[in-house]
């Protein structure tokens, strides 16, 4: 039961993903076409709230609600991986019009076809695991 | 209570949606001492469920990351609640100029969150539907693990931490996305 809080955090995030329309193929295409401010507004506000929160938490050395010291590290820079992997991700993001969180939320919202998206994404993950030693990192 | 429900059911303005997504960062940090991110769940599901002789999965402590499965299960339930009780799959207010582009791509109407002529069990039987759903999902899954993160882990969490790696990743996400939407997708959808 120590993981039950993650279930509730997930429920909150799942509702937000659907209601924010950031699981919508149309919204992603509209964004990449530069035809609408909507997604830029959503992402911009999210980063604004996220970065102010992060700054406050780290500047004031806040502890978790249950009194633990916060021990979050930054992901390591692997320039080639973030560049090439990022471009591959972007190609898939704009083609499928979805990303990792929304796939789960859309399955829940009743679009069963996202089982196929999830299967394809897991195949992509396995393929990466198989060829990663040949790729520049 | 009715007023709250009515408000929840109406389309949310972008600044409310964005602020709630941003709140995931303090929620995860203060509530769980974790980074916010989704795509590691792919690695975890693969490590837990498929017997693969690959170090990328064998060296992954998927049991120690069990919280990710609970998080993902919650997202599924949240999607169900939003979709069934909070009018979550209303058609977005897409700009007319974007609608014109969609119709030039041979998509008939903007209805719901996505074009069901591509995203449905009938849709993936067509070549273009298959490419959008399966190739799209595959590239996304491959790329997110190669880049060590996705839109949530890099573009939201990483940028909020001012992590240079996440700036590289996010800019690359957009380069790939713009290339696809402007140069490749219009041709794939005509197949």
The pLDDT score that the predictor gives to residue B30 is 97
Full-model pTM = 0.96
Give the pLDDT mean for B98-102.
96
> Of all residues in chain B, what percent carry a pLDDT higher than 70?
100
How distant is the Cα of B1 from the closest Cα of chain A, in angstroms? 18
- Domain shared by B26 and B119, yes or no: no
Tell me the pLDDT band of B52, cut-offs 50, 70 and 90.
confident
- Domain shared by B103 and B184, yes or no: yes
Cα angle for residues A121, B122, B91 (degrees, 5° grid): 80
- Domain shared by B184 and B99, yes or no: yes
Residue B1 has pLDDT above 90, yes or no: no
Give the pLDDT mean for B98-115.
94
- B79: how many CB neighbours lie within 10 A of its CB? 32
- Domain shared by B55 and B100, yes or no: no
Return mean pLDDT, chain A.
Answer: 96
The pLDDT score that the predictor gives to residue A74 is 95
- Domain shared by B102 and B177, yes or no: yes
The pLDDT score that the predictor gives to residue A114 is 97
Residue B131 has pLDDT above 80, yes or no: yes
Contact, B70 vs A3, CB < 8 A? Answer: yes
- Domain shared by B100 and B185, yes or no: yes
- Domain shared by B108 and B27, yes or no: no
When divided into structural domains, chain B yields a total of: 3
- Domain shared by B191 and B97, yes or no: yes
B33·A112 Cβ contact <8 A: no
- Domain shared by B51 and B61, yes or no: yes
B81·A70 Cβ contact <8 A: no
For residue A74, give the nearest of B189, B148, B14, B28 by alpha carbon.
B148
Q: ipTM, 2 decimals?
A: 0.96
What range defines the domain where residue B21 resides?
A: 1-34
Residues of A whose CB is below 8 A from B31: 5, 9, 64-65
Tell me the pLDDT band of A2, cut-offs 50, 70 and 90.
confident
């Amino acid at each position: 039961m120590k993981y039950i809080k993650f279930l509730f955090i997930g429920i909150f995030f799942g509702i937000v993903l659907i209601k924010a329309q950031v699981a919508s193929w149309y919204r992603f295409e509209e964004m990449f076409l530069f035809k609408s401010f909507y997604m830029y507004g959503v992402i911009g506000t999210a980063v604004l709230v996220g970065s102010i929160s992060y700054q406050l938490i780290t500047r004031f050395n806040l502890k978790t609600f249950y009194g633990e010291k916060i021990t979050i590290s930054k992901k390591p820079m692997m320039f080639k991986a973030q560049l090439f992997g990022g471009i591959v991700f972007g190609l898939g993001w704009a083609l499928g019009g979805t990303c990792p969180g929304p796939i789960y939320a859309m399955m829940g919202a009743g679009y069963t076809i996202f089982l196929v998206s999830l299967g394809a994404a897991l195949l992509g993950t396995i393929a990466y695991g198989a060829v990663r030693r040949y790729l520049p990192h | 209570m009715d007023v709250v429900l009515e408000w929840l059911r109406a389309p949310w303005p972008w600044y409310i949606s964005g602020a709630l997504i941003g709140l995931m960062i303090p929620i995860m940090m203060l509530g769980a001492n974790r980074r916010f991110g989704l795509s590691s769940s792919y690695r975890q599901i693969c490590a837990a469920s498929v017997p693969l002789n690959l170090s990328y999965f064998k060296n992954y402590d998927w049991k120690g990351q069990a919280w990710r499965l609970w998080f993902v299960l919650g997202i599924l339930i949240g999607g169900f609640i939003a979709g069934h009780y909070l009018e979550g799959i209303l058609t977005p207010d897409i700009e007319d100029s974007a609608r014109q582009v969609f119709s030039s791509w041979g998509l008939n109407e903007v209805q719901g969150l996505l074009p069901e002529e591509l995203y449905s069990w009938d849709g993936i039987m067509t070549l273009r539907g298959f490419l959008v759903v399966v190739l799209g999902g595959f590239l996304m899954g491959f790329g997110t693990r190669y880049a060590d993160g996705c839109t949530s882990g890099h573009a939201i969490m990483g940028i909020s931490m001012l992590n240079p790696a996440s700036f590289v990743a996010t800019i690359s996400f957009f380069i790939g996305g713009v290339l696809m939407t402007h140069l490749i997708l219009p041709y794939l959808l005509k197949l």
